[in-house]
Amino acid sequence: MTPIPLPEHTLTCYFVRHGERVDHIDDEWAQTAHTPYDPPLTPHGLLQARQTGALIHALEHQDKSDAASETEYLVLTSPFQRCAQTAEALAQGFRQKSTRTARWSVAVEPGLSEVMSEGYFDAPVPDSLIGTCIQRVRQGSVVYDEGYEVARSVLPRYPEDFQQMMARFVSTLDCVASRQVGLRMRRRAEGLSDPRRVVIMVTHGAGVGALLWATTMRPAANNVDYCAVTRADVQARRSSRPLARFGSSRIPAFSWTVGPYAYSGHTANL
């Protein structure tokens, strides 16, 4: 099957792991927490996230053609609190470095959730986590994208094994990329304004590994550092076939160029 090439700068994605979580430095936190399955960031984790926003700003502006173009930034976050906090803080870090107002919005994407492994959770996490996170994000400093159509509307079924998790992330990336690419193609066909589109996915360590597989087709490291950053630029649609049924395939629908790859040097000296 012949790939369908896409115009340069059609879609850029960043994959970001959340910052430092409180229960990983305070063994007693979960004992008194109302939702021990949903820890927040530490102050250091918030600092890591703001520094990550500054790094994304630098990566976006190292190419003068990117810097000169109008760009829309959409941040998609896992519904866990640590990811939503990371999403807001990295937007703050980006804006602190920017000399002009960037167009940012954020939305909760359940497809980016933590792997629902029995090794992580003793029982299923309630779907109410999603609504709680959406309300929390709406009260934050970044505009919520009310028109965003989620790739998945509920949390993964518990327990979720490794292969199911990998297929979930491949499908989530495929759904997001397909809709964003389709939006830009329609804009161009109708002669409408066509700003460059950047999607930043804030997720968990296992999720970043799955997204790295989806964009490189090579196994990734078992874990990545807090706030590690990967950039992926879409190159082509692998075929004209419709997307596979959600969660049914680990073969991605798009091909990508990737770099930097799980970079964490920007937080090394914090």
- 75-79, 176-180, 218-222: segment of lowest average pLDDT: 218-222
* Cα(44)–Cα(204) distance, integer angstroms: 17
Q: Does the pTM of the predicted model rise above 0.75?
A: yes
**Which pLDDT tens digit goes with each residue over 36-95?**
999 999 999 999 999 999 999 999 988 654 444 588 999 999 999 999 999 999 999 999
* Cα(166)–Cα(13) distance, integer angstroms: 18
Pick from 148, 130, 20, 149: nearest CA to 86: 20
Residue with tokens 């994959």: 15
The sign one gets for the Cα dihedral 126, 128, 131, 134 is negative
- 136-140, 218-222, 241-245: segment of lowest average pLDDT: 218-222
Sorted by where each starts, the structural domains of the chain and their CATH numbers stand as: 4-267 (3.40.50.1240)
Query: What is the secondary structure of 207-262 as a DSSP string?
Result: HHHHHHHHHHSSPPPS---TT-EEEEEEEEES-SSPPPPTTS-SS-SEEEEE-S-S
* Cα(118)–Cα(58) distance, integer angstroms: 39
